[in-house]
Structures are given as C-alpha cells and as structure tokens.
Amino acid sequence: MSFSVAIVGATGRLGAVVAEVVEAMPEAELVASLSSKDPLERAFVADVVVDVTTPAVSSEIVLAAIAAGRRVLVGTSGWCEERIARLRTAVRERPGSGAVVIPNFSLGSVLGTAFSAIAARYFDSAEIVEAHHAGKVDSPSGTAVRTAELMAAQRGERGPFAAPHVDQRARGQEAGSVPIHSLRLAGVVARQDVIFGGVGETLTITHDTVSSSAYQSGIRTALLAAADARDEVVVGLGAVLGIDESLGLA
C-alpha cells in the first residue's frame, strides 16, 4: 500500500516530527506541507491529511478535509467527545472518508491512561497534573482531558470523584469530575501525573516524555491506520494498537 500525505501545521513542533516520519516511510509520500494560514485546498491533493495545528482552527480544517472525501489523521489537542461526535456525523455523510484522532502519539502515555482508568474504580479521590513546554497554547492538554473522561467512565455506581473546593481557581479545571492542573515550563517536553488518594495511601501514575522521538513510532502506526480508515472514526492510539485505554490490555 502506498499513499500520499499532506501536513497542515507542518511549521510547528509536532508537524516537523510528522514530516520526518513520513519522509522515512517507503510507503508514504509527502506532497504538501502547509501552515494553518495556507489555502487548505492545497492539502486535498493527498490521500491522507494530517492536522497538527491548534484547537482554535483544527475542527474547521478536519471537517473540510472530510467533506472533500479525504482520510484525516488528527494530532491536535482539544478533541473532546462533543467534537468527535460531530466528526462521526461528518464521516457518515461523506462515504469514503475517515478519521483517526490521536490525543497522544506516545505508547507510554496510552498505557498510563489505561492504568489510570483501572485505578479509577478503586479510589474516590483523583487529580491530574500535566506539564508541557511553554509553547503549548492550550490547557488542559487533550491527553489529560481524555484520561479524566476515561477515568470517570469507570466510576459506575460510585459516582463522581470527590473534589472539594473546585470553585477556587487554584483547584484547576475539572473534566469528568477530576481537577486538572496545567504547567507550561521551559525545559519540559511533556509529563502527566495522575494522583489517586485513598485511606492511608496515595498512588501516582506518571508518564514522562523526555524527547519528541517518543512520538515517532506512534505517528508511523497512526498514519498507516489513517490510510486504511474509511467510513469510520478511530479514537486513540490504544484503539489502533489493540489496547483498550478504558480497561487495560485488550
């Protein structure tokens, strides 16, 4: 299988890594590298359109690519359940299109989210602290929001997590009843700590990205999945790899 790729957001940090991966793949050809300000139609010459822009423009770019009948790989943060629902509708209305949405291209991050979902069944207190480089414009991160949503989905009859004083700004932004605290610091690539509190103990699940090279394998795998994605929306690197992020290993 061979396929062509266009990258929208190619001038950004992640866009540069995606370009390196595509150029190293014998089955893929990079035919367009665009910034978010370039005419989007230039991307539609490709079989697969990769969106690695910003949350403010990502939805418009992705839906336009779907309307053009393209397969799309979404690597931009901010794709909550509501946005994904609109994307599923768009794909249904445009046969032959498809999308793969990846909040984080790191295998370790996927496993950390899966482990956190398991722990969420047993602890009634949980908070997330996520840190990224100072250039990341959105907060909380898409990975943190997805982790919190999957944790909340495991609560069942136990109900929401206990999160006192959430009316105070210093308590973070809630997602799935989990307070999320975002750090933006020089010297950081990406880190996420999911902290659970129980009677007489705490549990911390940490994933630390020390180099953007951690994303390369996941990008390669996701590109191949996007090239095959027709009439479907796949969410999460775990789904591509056969890892159920909500339950652990499939």
Which tens digit of pLDDT belongs to each residue from 74-133? 999 888 888 999 999 999 999 999 999 998 899 999 999 999 999 999 999 999 999 999
Residues 6+ positions from 64 with CB-CB distance below 8 Å:
40
Q: What's the topology of domain 107-210?
A: Dihydrodipicolinate Reductase; domain 2 (3.30.360)
Distances in whole angstroms, Cα of residue 5 to Cα of each of 27, 48, 80, 224: 10, 5, 25, 11
Per-residue pLDDT at 146: 87
CATH of segment(s) 3-101+213-249 = 3.40.50.720
pLDDT on residue 247 = 56
Average pLDDT score over the chain: 92
Share of the chain above pLDDT 70, in %: 97
Confidence band of 223 (pLDDT split at 50, 70, 90): very high
Which of 37, 133, 136, 207 is the catalytic position? 136
Task: Tell me: pLDDT of 66 over 70.
Answer: yes
pLDDT band at 245 (very low <50, low <70, confident <90, very high): low
Tell me the per-residue pLDDT of 123-165, one tens digit each, with 9 for 90 and over.
Answer: 999 999 999 999 888 899 989 998 999 999 999 888 999 988 9
Give pLDDT tens digits for 16-29.
999 999 999 999 99
Quote the DSSP letter at residue 171.
Answer: G
Q: Is 45 left (phi over 0), alpha (psi -120 to 50) or beta?
A: alpha
pTM of the predicted structure, to 2 decimals:
0.81
Residue 8 has a pLDDT of: 97
pLDDT of amino acid 99: 98
Tokens of 79: 């794709």
pLDDT at 246: 59
Which one of the listed residues 132, 133, 165, 207 is annotated catalytic?
132
Mean pLDDT on 29-39: 91
136 is catalytic: yes
Task: Give the model confidence (pLDDT) of 163-221 as tens digits.
Answer: 889 889 999 999 999 999 999 999 999 999 999 999 999 999 999 999 989 999 999 99
What is residue 78's predicted lDDT score, i.e. its pLDDT?
A: 81
Q: Round to whole Å and give the CA distance between 63 and 47.
A: 15
Q: What are the domain boundaries of the chain?
A: 3-101+213-249, 107-210
